[in-house]
Homo-oligomer: A and B are copies of this chain.
């Protein structure tokens, strides 16, 4: 079954554009850091990156971004003075694969140099899941035995490269550099935010007769191994790099050095490597025991869902609740490492069901952001807490207010940070779902209730009373479908806001019963007067939700049905979104939407709706959604509702669209990082869609549907502290 655990590549072409998307695809990581799959030897135009969880620096316009650190992966090989690089000489064989079961990236190349020397090169790298601060590369070079080759001179040069940036913008500068016996160290710092990073490096071989040279340099500290290689023999060397930042410890240099020394203690380096690899494999094995989903009969879906799970794991820290999972995780510079509702709506179900400790961390991140969210609400004239559309560490709104188009130079205003409100309800929703599935009462008591009530207060003050109609409304927002701006009574926003208030009130009642002191303290702290609570009750009871009471059809927002229909057949073969084609202004006049909006709400609030209501809304909204160039969030999410409606083959198509978004770079933007919300939606599509898992107060139910070729769906999940094994087989 080996091949169901691998992402493979069999061709290298430095001129082809896939080099950048494949760098993203072959990212290794462990939640503490992520390292893109660029090559050890380096190529012009390559975009290597190692991003650390929560390590930001300032940047114009986008405010803050995960700062690309000095590249720890560099190893250059020279044979008889000729440089090993695949854009010269001849590639005889090439193979690269990412082993999902243990996070190891391997490459084997058979190469003939311009002068005719033939060598085999094998590299193997991983970011240890057992030791988050450590990255390891094993590099092997074999002189070809099949020819009449002579003994060759080999020089291997391992270094850390500080000449790195995000889209060429450098963030780190060297403070100091040196070596301590065999360990080379580099101490650097982000230029604006002054986060200190220490990296240590060793590079060693057991092969006899190799000379080791340590090269101190602020810019590219290095270790060179030089010697000779007889035909048919192999040189294997291991590079170990350890990293700590001032976010981890007050003494990052000392801590890193001590950590690295511990790794070396009493071991030859090969034992070292094997030991580190074994520990890493054990950690991954433990993870997969909890997290794997087995799909028998569909290789593409099987590998794809494992790849999605892999990505979700390497992007989230198990030890740090000061930051969350970014839209692109730690895999690229896209969206600058900012946190969106992607985390709570799309990814959090995976963590909640599979890794509840991480889910708790991600919600604690939101808890830590409450002061800033309160400030945002106050600043806008509202009560409670309003979460930013995009956030980093301190919870300030970091959505740019406008961007200058890189090609036309035109100013494009960005409204999301001002009026895309639904994220606040998404966070409350995620808290509630976490509680429902984990039963973590302590979290709710200490943190969750405060989030729920603070956000409910926001909605209660944000809703505007319509005296004549005896109702409340929420005007001038952007819903999940971001192609329509300043809309009134967006069904999604209002429905989720109402839900937010309801679960907050339920939680307060629960708290009054189970922890009356905490309830009292919270009421004091949040000024939850009787009047305030009455207002919350009234708003949730009277908040207008635009839905036809006879048919059950929601109107995405007031007036949506009056917009012009769009004849999509005119745009067959398009390579851009409808917004890109029609323009930001023009698209607003059409019933064409970027992503699931009503249908997303119906997926999230699944239990509220019957099949008829589902079907009529599906019939209306599914055809008018831009499935190809709208949002990557949508296809796999749509699969859930398609499963419920029995459109199994359609659901399967949607799932594969989600699965392949990065593996085939189908939207063209994989170079900027993985589509992590899509990975979360893929997981949800299997579990909530095809397996039909529903967790209720009484336990759980499944209602599997199988695409034609599927034989079996099996996985585990955590429910109130217990592991549940699901194993569903086609009759």
Mask for A418-441, Cβ within 8 A of B = 1, else 0?
000000000000000000000000
A402 engages B411 (CB within 8 Å)? yes
Q: How far is B216's CA from A382's CA once the two chains are assembled, in angstroms? A: 61
Q: Tell me if A552 counts as interface (CB < 8 A to partner B).
A: no
A218 → chain B, closest Cβ, in Å? 6
Contact B219 A161 (CB under 8 A): yes
State whether the Cβ of A251 lies closer than 8 Å to any Cβ in chain B.
no
Interface positions, chain A 132-181, Cβ under 8 Å from B, are 157, 159, 161-165, 168-171, 173-176, 178
Please determine whether A218 and B169 come into contact, CB atoms closer than 8 angstroms.
no
Q: Is A222 at the interface (CB under 8 A from chain B)?
A: yes
Measured CA separation A402–B222 after assembly (Å) = 44
Residue of chain B at shortest CB distance from A42: B218
Knowing A163-B162, A165-B165, A402-B404 are in contact, say whether A44-B220 is a contact too (CB < 8 A): no
Assembly CA distance A409 to B63 (angstroms): 9
Residue in B63, B169, B216, B409 whose CB lies within 8 Å of A165: B169
Is the CB–CB distance between A215 and B215 below 8 Å? yes
List, in ascending order, chain B residues with CB within 8 A of A171's CB.
168
- Of B83, B217, B409, the residue contacting A157 (CB under 8 A) is B217
Which of these, B159, B170, B401, contacts A217 with CB under 8 Å? B159
**Contact in complex: A162, B219 (CB < 8 Å):** yes
0/1 string, A209-249, CB within 8 A of B gives 1:
00000011111101000000000000000000000000000
Within 8 A of B (CB), among A391-418: 400-404, 406, 409-411, 413
Give A163's nearest chain B residue, CB to CB: B163
Q: A163 to B170, alpha carbons, bound, how many Å?
A: 8
A76 at the interface (CB under 8 A from B): yes
Which of A34-65 touch B at CB < 8 Å?
Answer: 42, 44-45, 60-61, 63
Cβ of A191 < 8 Å from any Cβ of B? yes
CB distance from A275 to the nearest CB of B (A): 31
Q: Would you call A411 and B409 a contact (CB within 8 A)?
A: no
Residues on B with C-beta less than 8 A from A662 are none
Roughly how many angstroms separate A176 CA and B84 CA in the complex, as a whole number? 12
- Which residues of chain A have a CB within 8 Å of any CB of chain B? 42, 44-45, 60-61, 63, 74, 76, 78, 83, 157, 159, 161-165, 168-171, 173-176, 178, 189, 191, 215-220, 222, 400-404, 406, 409-411, 413
Shortest distance from the beta carbon of A213 to any chain B beta carbon, whole Å: 8
Chain B residue at minimal CB-CB distance from A155: B216
Look across to chain B and name the residue whose beta carbon is closest to the beta carbon of A81.
B178
A227 CB → nearest B CB, Å: 16
Measured in the bound complex, the distance between the Cα atoms of B217 and A309 in whole Å is 38
Q: Which residue of B189, B400, B406 is within 8 Å of A409 (Cβ)?
A: B400
Number of copies: 2
Contacting residue for A401 out of B157, B175, B219, B409, CB 8 A:
B409
Contact A44 B170, CB 8 Å, known A161-B219, A404-B60: no
When distances are taken between beta carbons in the complex, the residues of chain B under 8 Å from A63 are 409
Residues of B within 8 A of A163 (CB): 162-164, 170, 219
The CA-CA distance from A228 to B512 in the complex, in Å, is: 79
**Which interface residue of A74, A178, A217, A406 has the most chain B CB atoms within 10 A?**
A217
Q: Which residues of B contact A222 (CB under 8 A)?
A: 215, 217
Contact B44 A174 (CB under 8 A): yes
Chain B residues positioned under 8 Å from A83 (CB to CB): 176, 178
- Asked if B45 and A173 sit within 8 Å, CB to CB, the answer is yes
Residues A189 and B219 in contact, CB atoms below 8 Å apart? no
- Select one of B42, B44, B61, B410 contacting A404, CB under 8 A: B61
Q: How far is the CA of A410 from the CA of B168 in the complex (A)?
A: 24
A216–B222 alpha-carbon span in the complex (Å):
10
Query: Cβ of B159 and Cβ of A170 under 8 Å apart?
Result: no
Set of chain B residues within 8 Å of A217, measured between Cβ atoms: 157, 159, 215, 217, 220, 222
Among B170, B174, B409, contact of A170 (Cβ-Cβ < 8 Å):
B170
7 pairs, A vs B, C-beta closer than 8 Å:
A42-B174, A63-B409, A159-B219, A165-B165, A217-B220, A404-B411, A411-B413
With A42-B218, A83-B178 given, name 19 new contacts (CB 8 A).
A42-B174, A45-B191, A60-B406, A61-B409, A63-B409, A74-B219, A157-B216, A161-B218, A162-B163, A162-B219, A163-B163, A165-B170, A168-B169, A168-B171, A217-B220, A217-B222, A400-B409, A401-B409, A402-B404
Measured CB to CB, the nearest residue on chain B to A177 is B83
Contact B400 A44 (CB under 8 A): no
In the complex, chain B residues whose CB is within 8 Å of the CB of A42: 174, 218
- Nearest B residue to A221 via CB reads B220
Tell me, in angstroms, the Cα distance from A153 to B581 when the chains sit together. Answer: 68
Of chain B, the residue at the smallest CB distance from A179 is B81
- Determine the chain B residues whose CB is within 8 A of the CB of A161 once the complex forms: 218-219
- A178 CB contacts on chain B under 8 angstroms: 83
Query: Nearest Cβ in chain B — how far from A365, in angstroms?
Result: 24
Q: For residue A176, which residue of chain B has the nearest CB?
A: B83
* A189 and B60 within 8 A (CB): no
B residues in contact with A174, CB < 8 Å:
42, 44
Contact call A191/B218, Cβ cutoff below 8 A: no
Known A168-B169, A175-B44, A402-B404; judge A76-B219 contact (CB<8 A): no
Given A60-B404, A168-B170, A400-B409, the answer on whether A76 and B218 have CB atoms closer than 8 Å is yes
A590 to chain B minimum Cβ distance, whole angstroms, is 28
Q: Which residue of chain B lies nearest to A63 when distances are taken between CB atoms in the complex?
A: B409
The 7 closest A-B pairs by CB, nearest first: A219-B220, A163-B163, A220-B220, A168-B170, A162-B163, A161-B219, A401-B409
The chain B residue sitting closest to A46, CB to CB, is B173
**A411 → chain B closest CB, angstroms:** 5
Shortest CB-to-CB span from A719 to chain B, Å, is 45
How far does the alpha carbon of A218 sit from the alpha carbon of B75 in the complex, in Å?
11
A442 to B216 CA separation, bound complex (whole angstroms): 58
Report how far A164 CA is from B170 CA in the complex, Å: 8
* Bound: A42/B173 CA distance, A: 11
**Nearest opposing residue in chain B for A174, CB measure:** B44
Q: How far is A169 from B409 in the complex, measured between Cα atoms in Å?
A: 19
**A88 closest partner in B (C-beta):** B176
State the CA gap A76–B221 with chains docked (Å).
Answer: 13
- Chain B contacts of A157 at CB under 8 A? 216-217
With the chains together, A570 CA to B165 CA distance in Å? 47
In this complex, what residue of B is CB-closest to A170?
B168
Q: Which residue of chain B is the closest to A412 with respect to CB atoms?
A: B411
